[in-house]
């Protein structure tokens, strides 16, 4: 028998797994939202980590308006958006692509001092098959660590850098980035989530370079262990896009991975990123 779907402020939330993810029904997010709808979505994002919406025909203005309901928008440090819309990050792959965004597990631009609160991705064109996105709960991953490992990680910090990822992407895309400097930042390895207060693991394969308080070999071994642990299937959900689906994820509570199994087909859309704050240790 289907579980009843909880309703808040006229919205229905269909949970997708025990640890994270809910599909939201009953709301047109391309139109201005009421303060009650915004606070309901904000609370739901804190509870579920990632929210999904279907059939939302965003243009750049309505996508930016929806994003701004949750805070100021950031401009991507490597890829500012098109003319008139610097906050829009195009997400596009086709038969000419050499690389896609987000092919390794990551939290968006964790290389910045104040990593984003969250990202809102609208995909308008989907391949006939594939192009799913995986999301994994960083709070569930932390909770499942052994008490001894939690004690070891307490107080450690890690350096995150955009250098390796952005230079690789630019080289593959034929973009000359000589003379450019990419952000880098130090964050606690275990953060206190700014809204829920829950501890979350905050390291990822794309941006984390090293744990600062231990030697290189130990840092590599611990990071490998944490990456593999956080990527366990039981902390994950897999989202299957339809044209005009939208995903809104909390960048401090989940990490994500885009799957490029559809080459040479086209997958296309755009993302906006809501600014966040400095992260505190748990």
Residues in touch with ligand SIN (CB under 6 A): 91, 101-102, 108, 119, 121, 133, 256, 258, 271
Note if 76 is an active site residue. no
Residue 206, both tokens? 């794309």
Q: How far apart are CA 94 and CA 165, in angstroms?
A: 20
Q: How far apart are CA 99 and CA 56, in angstroms?
A: 27
Which of residues 219 and 273 has its CB atom nearest to ligand SIN in the complex?
A: 273
Q: Measured between alpha carbons, how far is residue 63 from residues 9, 177, 255 in Å? A: 21, 29, 22
Could you say which of 76, 160, 244, 256 is catalytic? 256
Shortest reach from residue 282's CB to ligand SIN, in Å: 25
Could you say which of 106, 122, 244, 267 is catalytic? 106
Q: Which residues have C-beta within 8 Å of that of residue 134, sequence separation ≥ 6?
A: 105, 236, 237, 238, 239, 256, 257, 259
Shortest reach from residue 253's CB to ligand SIN, in Å: 15
Note if 57 is an active site residue. no
Q: Are 199 and 139 in contact (CB under 8 A)?
A: yes
* Closest residue to ligand SIN: CB criterion: 102
Could you say which of 108, 169, 193, 250 is catalytic? 108
Shortest reach from residue 210's CB to ligand SIN, in Å: 22
Which of residues 133 and 139 has its CB atom nearest to ligand SIN in the complex?
A: 133
Shortest reach from residue 71's CB to ligand SIN, in Å: 17
Note if 2 is an active site residue. no
What DSSP string runs through 34-50? PHHHHHHHHHHHHHHSE
Q: Mind telling me the catalytic residues?
A: 106, 108, 256, 271
């Amino acid at each position: 028998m289907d579980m009843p779907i909880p309703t808040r402020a006229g919205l229905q939330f269909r949970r997708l797994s025990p640890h994270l993810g809910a599909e939201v029904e009953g709301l047109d997010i391309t139109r201005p939202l009421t303060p009650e709808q915004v606070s309901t979505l904000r609370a739901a994002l804190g509870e579920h980590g990632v929210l999904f919406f279907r059939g939302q025909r965003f243009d750049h203005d309505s996508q930016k308006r929806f994003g701004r309901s949750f805070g100021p928008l950031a401009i991507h440090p490597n890829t500012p958006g098109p003319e008139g819309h610097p906050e829009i990050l195009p997400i596009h792959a086709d038969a000419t692509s050499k690389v896609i965004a987000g092919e390794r597990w990551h939290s968006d631009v964790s290389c910045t001092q104040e990593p984003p609160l969250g990202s809102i991705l609208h995909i308008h064109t989907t391949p006939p098959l594939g192009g799913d996105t995986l999301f994994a709960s960083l709070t569930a991953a932390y909770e499942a660590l052994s008490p001894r490992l939690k004690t070891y990680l307490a107080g450690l910090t890690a350096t995150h850098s955009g250098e390796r990822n952005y230079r690789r992407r630019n080289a593959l895309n034929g973009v000359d980035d000589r003379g450019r400097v990419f952000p880098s930042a130090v964050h606690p390895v275990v953060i206190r989530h700014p809204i829920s207060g829950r501890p979350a693991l905050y390291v990822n394969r794309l941006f984390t370079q090293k744990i600062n308080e231990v030697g290189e070999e130990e840092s590599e071994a611990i990071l490998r262990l944490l990456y593999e642990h956080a990527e366990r299937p039981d902390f994950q959900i897999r989202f299957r896009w339809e044209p005009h689906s939208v995903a809104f994820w909390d960048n401090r509570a989940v990490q994500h991975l885009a799957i490029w199994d559809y080459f040479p087909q086209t997958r296309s859309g755009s993302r906006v990123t809501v600014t966040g704050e400095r992260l505190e240790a748990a």
